[in-house]
Structure 1
Amino acid sequence: MLKFTEVLGKCLTITTAAAIIVMMVHIVTHALMRSLFDAPIYGTNEIVEYWYLPIVALLGIPAAQLQKKHITVTLAIERARPATASVFRVFACILGALVSIAFAWFGLMKALENMAIGSTADVSDVITWPVYFLVPIVFVLLAALYVLDALVIARTGQTETDLATGEPPEHDIEYRADRSSANGHNL
């Protein structure tokens, strides 16, 4: 399972980084062409808005879940016994998976609708319907990550395990400082 999450994390990171780099090159080229030759690249704003930004934003959702970099509220479980905390975490993972599947289903219906009408960007001819299929893909992936989280918690009883490394995530500076001082290291 660690190998799967490691490969998935690398794929998400590489794809997102590539989208950001291509977007930057596209925008800079557009600006230079517009300024120097008075010939801007057609549809740059639409391509950035409807292609690059959704790719970057949507791929960040499963990446955050995979690396435990999302916002969590632990008020109910931080004082609970480990077994009780595990039950609550498993329940939260199942709820997260169900909500993700609902978003995936809604996203799929919307993507099919946009494909049927041949959706384009506002007033330009830039085709946008294919990027809508990223929504169901991302949310099915997110649901799978929630299920993996639930399985890890149920199997190990540990509520905080980074799926990418198999170790507890380092949420904040206090956690790292406590861990370093316990190991005899200074930050």
Structure 2
Amino acid sequence: MSTFTKVLDKWLTVTTAAAIIVMMLHIVTHALARSIFHAPLYGTNEIVEYWYLPIVALLGIPAAQLQKEHITVTMAVERAKPATAAVFTVFACILGALVSVAFAWFGLKKALENTAIGSTADVSAVITWPVYYLVPIVFVLLAVLYILDATAILRRRTEAGEEQ
């Protein structure tokens, strides 16, 4: 794992954990304020739905890629020769990068639309448009990780070919 991926993995883990802890504290404070003082915190449900949960869910995507924890089907790759398996894996990485870039593009368009209209939560004045920018950021990051994986596979194959 390169320094970039190690730092990124640490940052994603810490940020996601912090978002979960802050979300839990927010929800507990809301419940206590509602029960004890009959004064719930304004917009808690919307903040959880439109801020905390997207942060946790979206940051989990590149974190899973970094830690190799995505669901994979290895039936074809396990039975193939190492060179063929490497070609399939590089192809899958390139395809994953292209799909990620497409999601990033769509996400950026949606974020710009929501910025233009000043998007807020359903029935409250809690602003939501800034969170939409997390989608293109996460998917560009995921595309970069796919490209790094493909590059690492190609390097290993080249180094293995030079040793023989």
Give me the TM-score of the superposition, normalised by structure 2.
0.95
Question: Helix, strand or coil: the match of 2:78?
Answer: coil
Amino acid aligned to 1:124: S
- Cα deviation, residue 91, structure 1: 0.4
CA distance in 2, matches of 1:99, 1:70: 16
Alignment of 1:6-45 (within 5 A): 6-45=6-45
* Secondary structure at 2:79 match in 1: coil
> How many Å separate the matches in 1 of 2:103 and 2:3?
27
Deviations, residues 27-67 of structure 1 (Å, cap 9, x unaligned):
00000000000000000000000000000000000000000
- C-alpha displacement at 1:2, in angstroms? 1.1
Which residue does the alignment assign to 2:136? 136
The number of equivalent residue pairs is 158
Q: Which residue of 2 aligns with 1:86?
A: 86
State the TM-score, normalizing by the size of structure 1.
0.83
1:182 aligns with none
Amino acid at match of 1:32: L
Q: What secondary structure does 1:122 align onto? A: coil
Look up the equivalent residue of 1:5 and give its one-letter code. T
Alignment of 1:1-187 (within 5 A): 2-157=2-157
Give how far 1:105 is off: 0.1
The Cα shift of 1:76 comes to: 1.3
Shift of 1:75: 1.3
Question: RMSD across aligned C-alpha pairs, in angstroms?
Answer: 1.0
Partner of 1:169 in structure 2?
A: none
| Secondary structure in structure 1 of the residue aligned to 2:80 | coil
Shift of 1:77: 1.1
The residue identity in structure 1 corresponding to 2:47 is: I
Question: Matched residues in 2 for 1:14 and 1:3: separation?
Answer: 16
Aligned residue identity for 2:19 = A
Residues in 1 aligned to 2:151 and 2:130: alpha-carbon distance in whole angstroms: 33
Deviates more, 1:71-80 or 1:51-60: 71-80
Unaligned runs of 5+ in 1: 159-187
- The 1-side partners of 2:66 and 2:58 are apart by 13
Query: 1:102-135 CA distances to partner (integer Å, 9 max, x unpaired)?
Result: 0000000000000000000001100000000000
Letter of the aligned partner of 1:69 in structure 2?
E
Letter in 2 for 1:17: A
Shift of residue 157, structure 1, vs aligned partner: 2.9
Q: Percent identity?
A: 81
